[in-house]
Amino acid sequence: MCLMRTHSRADLTKTLAMTTPFSPPLYMQRYQFVIDYVKTYRPKKVIDFGCAECCLLKKLKFHRNGIQLLVGVDINSVVLLKRMHTLAPLISDYLQPSDGPLTIELYQGSVTEREPCTRGFDLVTCVELIEHLELVEVASFSEVVFGYMSPGAVIVSTPNAEFNPLLPGLRGFRNYDHKFEWTRAEFQTWAHKVCRDYGYSVHFTGVGEAVGHWREVGFCTQIAVFQRNFHDTMSNAKRLEPSVYRLMYRVVYPSLSDNNIYQRTLVNEVLYEAQHLRQEWLSRMNMDSSNNAHFCAPPLMDVFQHGLEGGTRDCQPVYQQGGTICVPLARVWSSPRVRALCGSVQRLREELQVDSRVRMSADGTVLILPAAADDEDDEEVEEEENVKAVSGVANNVEEDWDRELGCYGNV
């Protein structure tokens, strides 16, 4: 049924585009409505019922605004299977992991079934969904969503039947799969009952307005935004494995909240910075003098004693000590990228000291890098490999393939 829903969405939009010029198209406006809501209220866990081709999820994945768990539920598993890979992380998500975590899950299931793992969400969206349910199902839908799941907020959108006369050529419902299309009053009656029964408050809005005197018919799509009145007790509950729904897809996005990824990103950034400083120093040394090759200037320990946060920070020079180049941590710390990753020098030092890819001085103030480029020629090892007999050497008898072919001719 939900499969048909998106279908209708597209068809409807097409018709509307020709007659009532909604720009951007109505379905986009509905998505945008959800995106704007997310931007304002910043829910962490969002569930989209009837996600079908996952368009809304795909949009929310870009407009995350702090969403950490994004769940899509649809009754049709075929369409989920077909589209689920569009929700996979992009290559760039791996190249530049985001700050906050994000997990996307897709389930096959029905809004009229109670699924424990759907409880404790901050936002539930049901975009153009309820009109595909029989009226009896709507009752159990209300019970499941508001009574059982009791999320922080619910967005429900549905066609406004009063708008239908403005849609040219439309007879009956906007889509053959619609079981009903409500007027504003009908919708509001249902919504207020839900509020009374389950402890929510609601306000009504919509997208797609008619022009001129037609305005009074209301929005083409009417939207109810429900807010829960009581405090929630489940949002921190442990995530459960689904027991009623079927998990179709789960992907965990790479993010800096994963310690391994954080460590890797930070070390890469630090080493990038340090190597650059080293390179810069080496090329300056080369330019300075070809005679004064062994320039050793351990720049006075007292510079260090002034503390890393001191004003002399940026002046702390890179220097050579024996076969190594020493890069003061403070210089690396001055990189904005490193700063963004790491709140304080203290933390930076701690992170680096436990990483095997970074060599640091004992007091943790200096990064140690090799001075010379590793010797370019691997020493040629004259290996006298013990000769193993692989195969005989061609015998000394001279061959003549022409003769073998019997075409030994005019030589």
Partner 1 sequence: MTGRARARSRGRGRGQEPAAPGAVSLFKTAKPVMPTPPEGQLVGRGRQKPAPGQQVVILISISAGFQQVKIGERGGRRRDFHDSGVHTRQLMEHVKESKTGVSGTAIELRANFMRLLSRPLWALYQYHVDYKPPMESRRLRSALLFQHEETLGKAHTFDGAILFLPNKLHNTETVLCSETRNGEKVEITVTLTNELPPSSPVCLQFYNILFRRILRILNMQQIGRHYYNPDDPFNIPQHRLTIWPGFVTTILQYESSIMLCTDVSHKVLRSETVLDFMYSLRQQCGDQRFPEACTKELVGLIILTKYNNKTYRIDDIAWDHTPNNTFKKGDTEISFKNYFKTQYGLDITDGNQVLLVSHVKRLGPSGRPPPGPAMLVPEFCYLTGLTDKMRADFNIMKDLASHTRLSPEQRETRINRLISNINRNADVQNELTTWGLSFENRLLSMNGRVLPSERIIQGGRAYEYNPWTADWTKEMRGLPLISCMSLDNWLMFYTRRNADVAQSLLQTLNKVSGPMGIRMQRAIMIEYEDRQESLLRALQQNVARETQMVVVILPTNRKDKYDCVKKYLCVDCPTPSQCVVSRTISKPQALMTVATKIALQMNCKMGGELWSVEIPLRQLMIVGIDCYHDTAAGKRSIGALVASLNQGMSRWFSKCVLQNRGQEIIDALKGSLQAALKAYLKYNNCLPSRIIVFRDGVGDGMLQSVVDYEVPQIMQSIKTMGQDYEPKLSVVVVKKRISSRFFARIDGKIANPPPGTVIDTEVTRPEWYDFFIVSQAVRFGCVAPTHYNVVFDSSGLKPDHMQRLTYKLCHMYYNWQGIVRVPAPCQYAHKLAFLVGQSIHKEPNMNLDDFLYYL
- Residues found near partner 1 in the complex (CB under 8 A): 1, 3-4, 7, 23-24, 32, 62-65, 76, 78-79, 85, 88-92, 94-96, 176-177, 251, 254, 264, 267-272, 275-276, 373-374, 376-380, 385, 387-388, 390-396, 398-402, 404-405, 407, 409-411
In the complex with partner 1, the residue whose CB is nearer, 66 or 298, is: 66
CA distance 106 to 246: 8
Are 131 and 222 a contacting pair, CB within 8 Å? no
Nearer to partner 1, 81 or 244 (CB): 81
Question: Smallest distance from the beta carbon of 79 to partner 1, in angstroms?
Answer: 8
How far is the C-alpha of 246 from the C-alpha of 79, rounded, in Å? 14
**Distance between CA atoms of 262 and 260, rounded to whole angstroms?**
5
For residue 381, what are the contacts with CB-CB under 8 A and spacing of at least 6? none
Beta carbons within 8 Å of 71's beta carbon, 6+ residues apart: 45, 46, 47, 48, 104, 105, 106, 107, 118, 121
Nearest approach, Cβ of 303 to partner 1 (angstroms)?
A: 26
Nearer to partner 1, 362 or 405 (CB): 405
> Looking up tokens 């996005």, which residue turns up?
253
Closest to partner 1 by CB, 264 or 349: 264
**Minimum distance between the CB of residue 410 and partner 1, rounded to whole angstroms?**
8
**What does the alpha-carbon distance between residue 82 and residue 27 come to, in Å, rounded to a whole number?**
21
Radius of gyration of the chain, Cα coordinates, nearest whole angstrom: 34
Cβ nearer to partner 1, comparing 308 with 338:
338
Measured from the CB of residue 377, what is the shortest distance to partner 1 in angstroms?
6
Residue with token string 């013990």: 386
C-beta closer to partner 1: residue 21 or 311? 21
Q: How far is the CB of 164 from partner 1 (least distance, A)?
A: 16
Taking every pair of Cα atoms in the chain, the longest distance, rounded to a whole number of angstroms, is: 109
Residue among 229 and 353 whose Cβ is closer to partner 1: 353
We find the least distance from the C-beta atom of residue 29 to partner 1, in angstroms, to be 12
Q: How far is the CB of 172 from partner 1 (least distance, A)?
A: 9
Structure tokens at 275: 């190597």
User: How far is it, in rounded angstroms, from Cα 176 to Cα 51?
Assistant: 19
Nearer to partner 1, 216 or 380 (CB): 380
**216 or 379: CB nearest partner 1:** 379
User: From its phi and psi, is residue 101 left (phi > 0), alpha (psi between -120 and 50) or beta?
Assistant: beta
Residues 6 or more apart whose Cβ sits within 8 Å of residue 337: 269, 273
Nearest-approach distance from CB 190 to partner 1, in angstroms: 22
Sign of CA dihedral 154, 41, 152, 198: negative
Strand order in the sheet with 319-321: 319-321, 324-328, 366-370
User: CB 63 → partner 1: shortest distance, Å?
Assistant: 4
- Which residue carries 């109670």 as its tokens? 114
